[in-house]
Amino acid sequence: MRNLSADLKSILLSAFVSICLFFISGCLPDAPPETTREGSISDNAVKVTPQTDMYPPVLHASDWFDPIPMPGPVNTPGVEDAPVVTSDGDTFIFFFTSDGNVPAEKQILDGVTGVWWCGRNGADWTEPVRAHLGDPDTLHLDGPFAVQDTTLWFGSIREGNYRDIDIYTAELLEGEWINRQNAGEQINMEFNAGELYPTADGNFLYFGRAEGALGQNDLWLTTRRGKAWSEPVNLGTPVNTAGDESRPFISSDGSELWFTRMHSGRGYTGPAVFRSIKTGDIWSEPEEIVSNYAGDPGLDDQGNLYFTHLFYDAEGRKIEADIYVAYHR
């Protein structure tokens, strides 16, 4: 399963190999004790700021103010990735690991890498807390994909999967994540779906997949058929290209499809955020909205745009990642 951000995918896949080795050796460890995000970050960690960013995000649309680091307690000198926000803008979910350069086999045992979430507190956000998405006594590693109402869709490595990384759902009730369950054999095995996003009514599911793609990876659509899903349809051109399209987000009214392309069409560095608008059954030529190591778009119904921004130095070495926001005008 490929469509996680490059960092998150690498972490989860490496962790899967580590778990397999633990099973083979018969020495599967207990789940690690939890720690705080701040306590897991090295004293030598570098916190990149807009003033020291070698490749700051560049906005190409006048509907938003210039992107800034997400205010509040979400960003740290560690890696914040894969932002997911509820349509009302009141709940924010993301992936965290203290150091993206640490091997995944160590991250899965660090007691802090995984899904975190927080709530709106006026103009600010509450202190993020760990999302408990599995048995606390069982080794697992999770990353968020999408949220609709109180339902979170996430990728997970854990015992009992159909494949290396399976898609799961969980429900948020009174501050607890309950009804955690595998999304099923059809989505995971038959479709081999990657990172995904459902429509607000739950009847359509957009996802990324390399199998059958026009290029390296394409966006696909499947329709709910009772308890099952229809045969996926490739969205085709102009959304998909000979390149790599992934990490879809669909607006609440179903009219806007946001996604990541791994290469800018404007000559900027790294991945970029694109938007396509639907008229009838036709998706428009995608417009590049944010460039320079930008990806994983997510919006609330006020039109505020959240995305992951990766920081690299002049030699192309990864430093960290933050969540950025471009507020709608």
Instruction: Note the pLDDT tens digit of each residue in 31-50.
Output: 667 789 999 999 999 999 99
Candidates 160, 211, 216; CA nearest to 190 is 211
Q: DSSP letters along 229-249, please?
A: EPPPEE--TTTS-SSBEEEEE
Give domain limits for the chain. Answer: 6-30+52-326
Residue that is written with structure tokens 């469509």 in the block: 3
Q: DSSP letters along 238-298, please?
A: TTS-SSBEEEEEE-TTS-EEEEEESS-SSS-SS-EEEEEEEETTEEPPPEEEEESSEEEEE
CATH classification (class only), 6-30+52-326:
mainly beta
- The rounded percent of the chain whose pLDDT value lies above 90 is 79
Instruction: Note the pLDDT tens digit of each residue in 229-273.
Output: 999 999 999 999 999 999 999 999 999 999 999 999 999 999 999
Give residue 26's pLDDT.
Answer: 47
Instruction: Note the pLDDT tens digit of each residue in 160-216.
Output: 999 989 999 999 999 999 999 999 999 999 999 999 999 999 999 999 999 999 999
Give residue 29's pLDDT.
Answer: 56
Tokens of 321: 């990642």
Give residue 100's pLDDT.
Answer: 84
Give residue 108's pLDDT.
Answer: 77
